[in-house]
Amino acid sequence: MDSALRDPHNGSAGARSPANGTTRPPSTPEGIALAYGSLLLMALLPIFFGALRSVRCARGKNASDMPETITSRDAARFPIIASCTLLGLYLFFKIFSQEYINLLLSMYFFVLGILALSHTISPFMSKFFPANFPNRQYQLLFTQGSGESKEEIINYEFDTKDLVCLGLSTIVGVWYLLRKHWIANNLFGLAFSVNGVELLHLNNVSTGCILLGGLFIYDVFWVFGTNVMVTVAKSFEAPIKLVFPQDLLEKGLEADNFAMLGLGDIVIPGIFIALLLRFDISLKKNTHTYFYTSFAAYIFGLGLTIFIMHIFKHAQPALLYLVPACVGFPVLVALAKGEVTEMFSYESSAEILPHTPRLTHFPTVSGSPASLADSMQQKLAGPRRRRPQNPSAIYEDSNAKDPAAAAGSREGREASAPQGLEKKED
């Protein structure tokens, strides 16, 4: 996971021009300001829109868009897994040919990028389709096994509009695969960031603090302690980072002197900011105080990262500045408002939404699976009156209590029997 902000060419020792082996000319102040400002804007867009979409995702009914909840155990293990992955990529680039590794990774991210971009633009594109557009529903279902042991592997629902978005995303994917253009790279990177913030949900604030604290140490160690992260970021030709050329004003769209920002610096703080937005909504005060506070804290932290990097001309671990800002500012606001207890007791995964009934306890039932399902249904719906299965049993029971009614009903049945026989004969 690349999560450091860096300017690999301007002011870096050993940065060479690929054309003639000479040192690149320094970028103009206007070009540097444009590059840094564009990176800041591109980082803010997926956090803002991804957080809004995460609220709709939590309330959605489509099983294909259900969020993945990160628990405290997942948060504690994530920095270790990320470190192993980063070190593994570093060793792969050292041992094997960089060209073949990037070819495999390009094909992999080509498929992922198309799906991510299609999912990102689908809500926006739906507004441009006419009302009489023939929109048909489809379902992609892969199962394993048969009978009672059948298990769903993939269950994805989509429609004709999604197929149109998939076609447009494929065009961008082919463009990226053939040219590796920085605009196509950024389109995929933004799509990955939006989907990450939307679909990855922290279950509570404590889990977010564990995750951000662990990645804080991870980022500082791999950027300042070794050259592993910088080496992987420069060698890894995949849309795992946002880039913007510092020489755009001089060379136009063919510029090649890039400043870059890892997607980890967007997604990791972004899912914490999205959690605070859902916490704001749960308070039902019609204010988004914690969301706007953390969003402003992110702007401050990333701006400080850019400033430090520009002053010292060295790659900076952005989470070194983002984590204290994104966690500290909302906690200070909670302290001032006396809502620290509510903040840390909030459970995002425990939100009871209108369309998602939840069990408060599990009944103990022995017998067949059918009896278990029937018992659970009774617990959810409350006590119900059972409908009698045999109408004659009611007659016999009531007639036993009332002999006069029994005699009348018996005569009625005897009188109606010949009529039924006559009808059969006709």
Name residue 238's amino acid. Answer: A
d(CA 232, CA 236): 6
Structure tokens at 397: 């029971």
Decide if 265 is catalytic.
yes
Catalytic site residue from 7, 162, 247, 265: 265
Catalytic site residue from 2, 219, 247, 280: 219
Instruction: Produce one character per residue of 6-27: b if its CB has 16 or more CB atoms within 10 Å, e if not.
Output: bbbbbbbeeeeeeeeeeebeeb
**Token pair 């690999």 in the structure block, residue:** 8
Among 259, 203, 238, CA closest to 70: 203
Structure tokens at 82: 């990320």
d(CA 115, CA 117): 6
Q: What angle do CA 165, 168, 169 make, to 5 degrees?
A: 85
Contact status, residue 359 vs residue 375, Cβ threshold 8 Å: no
d(CA 266, CA 245): 19
Structure tokens at 399: 């007639």
Decide if 162 is catalytic.
no
Which value, to the nearest 10 degrees, does the dihedral of the CA atoms of residues 116, 119, 120, 126 take?
150
Half-sphere exposure of 215 (CA within 13 A, CB side): 30
Among 114, 235, 121, CA closest to 175: 114
Q: How many CB atoms lie within 10 A of CB 402?
A: 11
Known catalytic residues?
A: 219, 265
